[in-house]
Each structure stands twice: as structure tokens, then as C-alpha cells.
Amino acid sequence: MSMTLGECEMACKGNCNCTGYANLDIRNGGSGCLLWLDELLDTREYDADQDIYIRMAASELEGTHLHVFSLYAYVLNYNYFLMEGLVDSVSEFNKKKRILILALLTSSAVTLLFVAAYACRKLKKQTHMKRRGKWYGHVQKDKSLQMEQLDDLQCFSIYEITRATGNFSVSNKIGEGGFGPVYKGVLEDGREIAVKRLSETSQQGLDEFKNEVTCITKLQHRNLVKLLGYCIHQNELILIYEYMTNKSSDQFLFHGTRSLMLNWPQRFNIIHGIARGILYLHQDSRLQIIHRDLKAGNILLDGDMHPKISDFGLARMFQGHNTTSKTNKVVGTYGYISPEYAINGRFSIKSDVFSFGVLVLEIICGKKNKEFSQGDHNDNLLGHVSLVAWRLFKEGRSIELMSGSLQDSHVVSEVLRTIHVALLCVQHHAEDRPTMLSVVLMLVSEGTLPEPKQPAFFNEESFCEHETLPSVDKRTITLLYAR
């Protein structure tokens, strides 16, 4: 029995690779099923007004994108109809007139398609702005943002910012994160600043902007970056920070010759400073804060290589003793996210502890957590740095994890102890991980440390069972999980 259009739709929805479907035969109300399981590059000859159903992301269905797609189809069908009818009607005319009519119809079709393409681009931009946070016009209405969170911050004009950054010159761009690009700027008084500008392609928006302002204005610690001010102008959301001479730690740790500039005492100082900064967030600040996006790219270094934690757009604040929460919107960077958070959406201060552990291992070995290989030791060990470190620890070979550039500056006992502490931080179960207070004490003490259990490690295949693998780069991503 032939499939109906409804059955064809269900077949497409049941296949993750299906990108579109249509009736195989449109006669007598339609029958049969034609599925596209890849890009819509293959073609077939259609009669006028035949429908094809395209599978799209839910976010792309906002606004009137489908109307634009219908406009494309209408233009093609309409011109097909005109060309078919008119060409037949002029069959008795001479060949020149026939060619002229075809040329006119073709040019009109091209013109209409350009108009439709322009409309699609405009509508896509409008829909994207809604997805960014629907903050156009809402900023001025949000009195709580302006009157409460921003009272203690300097409000910069867009003129001051564009002048300081050379109109956001590419030559002044010093980095980019999930919120958007970061530029170096120089104010009229000579102060150097870092300017973080919301990108048009960012998945973040007003909520993250407010969250950053709310968190960071309440925090004062030597290992946290200082927010100097902000700028809100039309469609611009801009944050202004103190400028960090050595930028982010990943630009030293993972870049060949630059990594040689960080000896072991400097790396240990960075690790200890990060630990104290997180301890302040978890325990010593007025509000308990879970950062949720600790990674090398969010650790900035000043002129003396002292670390400062940055980027609080994804942070969560808690009051009292309730420091555990659950969410359907998992945010962070793949490789640093704890398993209970990535899989179940449950995060706590122990989620930050896990991220810290991964970061410590990266600082010691000088390689990104997803690019680490142990091929130099002929054991074909490949995978997440925490798994590699744990296996070496079990074999009594932890010192082999250390970057070769540290051979002349390290203290063996201190390196081994730091690796041991990091492995305690990346244990699979959150309750097994230490608090940051314990971490700080263990780093500087000489007492006996507990034996670490197997780290939280999941490969790409197991991760994909829960959600599409996000791109592995420097940017912060958002993962959505159905529950």
C-alpha cells in the first residue's frame, strides 16, 4: 500500500538525517514518499505547484522565513507557468519574438528571486536578533538594569569607545569569545582598556550582559578581572574591562615558543591564583557564584603573569546553602563540562571544581584537553587529558605528563602533588571531588592526599548519544537537552 503524505512526514521525522520530503506522485491528491537524506542537491522535474517539505531548526521557524521560502517557490512556479503558456501561444510567431519573450520572462524571474533573497536576508537578521535576547528597545525599558546594577559603573559613550578602538579596527582585535570580539582600546586619558562587544552572530544577548554586570560589580578580588564600565547604544551592548597585558593564558600555554616563557614557578602561581579566585566565588564573596565556564581562554594574565578569571556571562548566583541547580540549557565549553552537568543538566560548585582540574592538567602538560596524545611514550594513549593523567598516575609515571619546557625549572614533588590534586578534582562523581577550600590547602601543604578515583571521561561517541557534539574551539557554546 502506498504511503500517504502524513506517513511520509512521520518517516522523515523519525530519521535524524532526513532533510526534506515530498509526494512521489501528486496525481489524485498525492501518494508515495520521496525522502532526502542529505543536502538538497539532487533534482527532479516537477509539475507546477508541487510541494516539497523542508526540515528546519525550530529557531529558523520564527518570524516569516517560511513565507520567504514560499515566495521562492511561487516565483519559480509562476514563471514556469507563464513561460509554458506564453511560449505555446507564440508558437506561430517568428523565432525572434519567441526568444524576446523568453528573455523578458527569465529576467523578471531573476529580478524576483533577488528581491526574495534580499527579503530572506532581512527576515533572517530580524529573527536572529530575537534569538539573541530580544533586547532591541528593551534595554531602555529595563530600569532595574540601568538604575541598580549599573550605578557603580562608568557609562561610556559610543563615541568614546569607537575612538578608543579605532572604530573597532581589526588591528586592535585581541580575541573573541561566546559574547563576541574583544578589542584593545586607549582612552583619551591614556588608560588602556579591553572592549568586549556583542557580536551579531552571538547566541548570547541581554541576559548574559546583565548577568556579567550583576556578578562582576559585586566582586572584588585580585584574581578576578575588573569591569570598568559599559556602553549601551542602539543595537550595541559593550563591556569595558581593565586591559591585561598578556591577554589570555591559552595564548601562552598552547602556542609553541610562547609556552617556553612560562616556567614551572609561574605556572604554579597561575594555578594557585585561579584556585584562590574560584574559592572567593564559591565561599568568600557576598553571593555564592558558580562560574560555569572556566577554561584557559577565560584566564587572563597581567604584566606579571598573575591570573585573573574573566567572562561571567554564564555564571549563576546563589544565596544561602543551596548551591546545586538543574537546567535544561547546558552552557559551557566541551572538554571542561562535568558529566553530571553535560548529561543531566545538574550543576554545582563541584562543576567548577571539575573544570579547574582539567585546566590544571592543561597548564602542566601545555596541551589542550582534546588534543593530548601520549604517543611519545609508545603506549598509543590518546584522549582527554584527565584520562591520560590518571593512567600515568596509576602506572607511577605522572611526571611524564609535564611539558618538556619545564624540565629545567620544575620541582618534582610539587609537580606530582599538583597533578594528584587535579585528578581529585576530575573524579567522575561530584561528591568525590574536593571543595575549592580543600584544593587551596592541598596545593600548599605537604600532608597525605587521598587516592583519586577514575576521572570523569566520556568519549565523543558516548557524548553524541545525548546531543550533537559541539565544535571544539575557544568559543563558549550552548547545548540544549530534551528532558
Q: What is the pLDDT of residues 408-437, one digit of tens each?
A: 777 899 999 999 999 999 999 999 999 999
- Residue 426 is classified by DSSP as T
CATH class given for the domain over 138-242 = alpha beta
Q: What is the per-residue pLDDT for 457? A: 60
Say which of 293, 302, 304, 473 is annotated catalytic.
293
Active site residue 293: yes
Kindly give the pairing relationship between strand 288-290 and strand 307-309.
unpaired
The grid coordinates listed for 362 are 592543561
The one-letter amino acid code at 479 reads L
- Taking the alpha carbons of 195, 221, 223, 330 in that order, is the dihedral positive or negative? negative
| Homologous superfamily of domain range 250-480 | Transferase(Phosphotransferase) domain 1 (1.10.510.10)
The one-letter amino acid code at 65 reads H
Q: What is the per-residue pLDDT for 10? A: 81
**Maximum Cα–Cα distance across the chain:** 101
Q: What is the pLDDT of residues 367-388, one digit of tens each?
A: 888 765 444 443 433 457 888 8
Q: What is the per-residue pLDDT for 179? A: 78
The answer to whether 295 and 359 have CB atoms below 8 angstroms apart is yes
Q: What is the per-residue pLDDT for 33? A: 81
Q: What is the per-residue pLDDT for 88? A: 54
The domain segmentation of the chain, as residue ranges, is 1-45, 56-131, 138-242, 250-480
What are the CA-CA distances from residue 164 to residues 63, 155, 232, 292 (Å)?
37, 14, 16, 31
The one-letter amino acid code at 157 reads S
What parts of the chain have a pLDDT lower than 50? 59, 62-66, 68-69, 71, 74-75, 78, 128-141, 143-147, 373-382, 458-483
DSSP helix/strand/coil, 287: coil
Can you spell out the DSSP letters for 39-73? Answer: -TT------TT---EE---GGGGSTTHHHHHHHHH
Q: What is the pLDDT of residues 135-156, one digit of tens each?
A: 444 444 453 444 455 666 888 9
Q: What is the per-residue pLDDT for 125? A: 55
